[in-house]
Amino acid sequence: MKILIVGDPHGKLPKKIHKNIDLILITGDIGKADLARKNAFENIKREKKGLPELEENSKDSKRAWEEIYNSTMKILKYFSKFAPVYFILGNVGTSTDAEIKKEEKKLSVKLPYLRSGIKKIKEIHLVRNGIRKINGLKIGFLEYFHDICWVKEFDVKDKKKIERARKKTEKARRILKWFGKNKIDILVCHQPPYGILDKVTWKKAPKHYQGKHAGSKVVLDYIKRKQPRYVFCGHIHEGKGKKKLGKTNIINAGCCGDYFVVDVAKKLLKE
């Protein structure tokens, strides 16, 4: 079976696509989020300086939501033409319909409901912390979470963020334990394992991020102990590439039109 592993699209399509694909897996961050990212990075800088976050502007917030929604729909509709698509959400476009409804009330604007839109596309499957058996393969899908090691690595001071990260990390650990009991063949996750294809070198990233590892120690520990055949990830775009840890083949599929093709019966074919 030939699998197309698509790195975080961020609203960009590949220039061409490999033919005769049986399955498509996407590592998260489907839509374009330039407006939301610009605001997020600005707030990171402000937090570092001890300043409060920027106040939300209804008009700008709506534009940011629409940018993510429209580009996500475009990407998913495109890939659905080639093969069944299974994917996770990364740190872009993760809000549930209930969360969007609250945001609408707060901003007094009408916003697009991403997950409702996704359900309308055929051959598209959003998987949240679940296992799917596809053509004899057990594939575990771990949604994006703030690993507590990331919070420590990037010197986050906000106590509420630290506590949220701790809870999310424990949840991810429990899910991976369940994956381990079910002996999955492939793990699809957003962030890479810590120390592997995860170093921040992107010039536009905040200065105090540069040169640090942004991967997950929970994911790394799982790979070391359970040795799945493959781990497909993204998140750190400059980490695109392949590494092997024990018997596990780890692929950071990159972003913005990047992809790899794997024949699970044989070996890595091409990118």
Give 210-229 pLDDT, tens digit per residue: 999 999 999 999 999 999 99
Question: Where does the chain show beta strands of DSSP type E?
Answer: 2-6, 23-26, 85-87, 124-126, 130-134, 137-142, 186-189, 230-233, 241-245, 248-252, 259-263, 268-270
Q: Per residue in 77-131, pLDDT tens? A: 999 999 999 999 999 888 889 999 999 998 899 999 999 999 999 899 999 999 9
pLDDT score for 108: 92
Cβ(200)–Cβ(214) below 8 Å: yes
- pTM, two decimal places: 0.90
CATH class label, 2-270: alpha beta
Which residue ranges make up each domain of the chain?
2-270
Mean pLDDT of 41-62: 77
pLDDT score for 43: 65
The token duo for 205 is 């990233």
Total number of residues shown for the chain = 271
Where does the pLDDT of residue 266 fall: very low under 50, low under 70, confident under 90, or very high at 90 and above? low
For the ranges 36-40, 49-53, 237-241, 267-271, the one whose mean pLDDT is highest:
237-241
Q: Per residue in 128-146, pLDDT tens? A: 999 999 999 999 999 999 9
Closest residue by Cα to residue 5 from 123, 139, 133: 139
Q: 60-64, 198-202, 231-235, 240-244 — which is least confidently predicted? A: 60-64
DSSP secondary structure string, 44-68? HHHHHTTPPPPPP-HHHHHHHHHHH
> CA–CA separation, 192 vs 94, rounded Å?
18
Instruction: Write the single-letter amino acid at 6.
Output: V
pLDDT score for 161: 86
